[in-house]
A = this chain, B = another copy of it.
Amino acid sequence: MIPKIKKINLGTQLMDTMISLIENGTWKAGEKLPNEIELANSFSVSRNIMRESMKILENFGILDSKTGIGTYISDNAISNICNMRFFESLKNNTSIEKLLETRLIIEPELAYYATLRATDEEIETLKIVLEEDTKKHLITNFFHTDDFHFHLHVAKYARNDILENLLTTILEQLSADAYGNFNKFVDNSVKIDSFNDHMAVFGAIQKRDPLLAKEIMYHHLFARMKVINPDYGTNLIYSEKIRNDRLKEN
């Protein structure tokens, strides 16, 4: 398969050079840029192209244009360039395994924090979410994106916006990707196991037992990972048993 090279147009070239100007310190944070016409001239492009590039950088929080005053380099331009790169990597990332691994890392912790931070009302909501899933589960071949409602609710109750949003994009990517279709044809026993795991996680949250919620969530996701890659974790030694052994040693 030949990788499609997108022909670089003036706009993206401009964007890239402006970013490097900021990164190498030629343009410093807080600094005022020359006006659009001068800029366009100095880069030898038209004003519209100049504007298109600047608009994109403005949208990324790297530039800051104020009507009638001028355009400035954002105070946190460098940090937003970093964000932009993160975003790029997220956009191009297609490895289902890495997406699942990320879930494996963050979701047990989210379950842990959700157990500590969810209000009683929120736990009731979670119960309702599960009950609705039960209905779907009994009636149709429920799965795929439906499965995600529970996880997203748990993430919300953990009160960490960053990781909640990260999980949202990961789940969105998983359901958009082949993984979404894959799940439709997965063996029924896997679905049932998965559903029971949800019930167990909920039970732990309801009992306000954060460590238990965390452990169950981990094993739930680890089982999912095993479905798409049976070899995963053969080099890993994270397991209840070994952990127990280690802790008893001390």
- Residues in chain A within 8 A of chain B (CB atoms): 7, 11, 48, 51-52, 55-56, 59-61, 67, 75-76, 78-80, 82-87, 89-91, 93, 98-99, 101-102, 105-106, 109-110, 112-113, 116, 160-163, 165-166, 168-170, 172-173, 176-177, 210-211, 235-238, 242-244, 246-248, 250
Contacts and interface: CB of A to CB of B under 8 A. Distances in A.
A54 B160 CA distance: 32
Majority SS at the chain A contact face: helix
Contacts of A59: 56, 59
A211 B162 contact: no
Given A83-B87, A86-B165, A105 B106 contact: yes
Contacts of A89: 161-162, 165
Given A7-B67, A79-B176, A105 B163 contact: yes
B166 A166 contact: yes
29 contacts: A11-B55, A48-B51, A51-B52, A52-B55, A55-B55, A76-B177, A79-B169, A79-B176, A82-B168, A82-B169, A82-B172, A83-B172, A84-B87, A85-B165, A86-B87, A86-B165, A86-B166, A93-B161, A93-B162, A102-B160, A105-B109, A105-B110, A105-B113, A105-B160, A162-B166, A210-B238, A211-B243, A211-B246, A248-B248
A98 B235 CA distance: 32
Given A79-B169, A83-B169, A109-B105, A162 B56 contact: no
A108 B79 CA distance: 23
A169 to B, nearest CB: 5
Contact of A176 (B48, B56, B60, B78): B78
A173 B82 CA distance: 9
For the complex of A and B, 9 pairs with smallest distance between CB atoms: A86-B165, A82-B172, A79-B176, A105-B109, A79-B172, A82-B169, A52-B55, A86-B169, A61-B91
A116 B236 contact: yes
A42 to B, nearest CB: 21
B7 A161 contact: no
Contacts of A170: 162
Given A56-B59, A105-B110, A243-B247, 18 more contacts: A11-B55, A52-B52, A52-B55, A55-B56, A56-B56, A60-B87, A75-B176, A79-B169, A79-B176, A85-B165, A85-B168, A101-B160, A105-B113, A105-B160, A162-B170, A210-B238, A211-B237, A248-B248
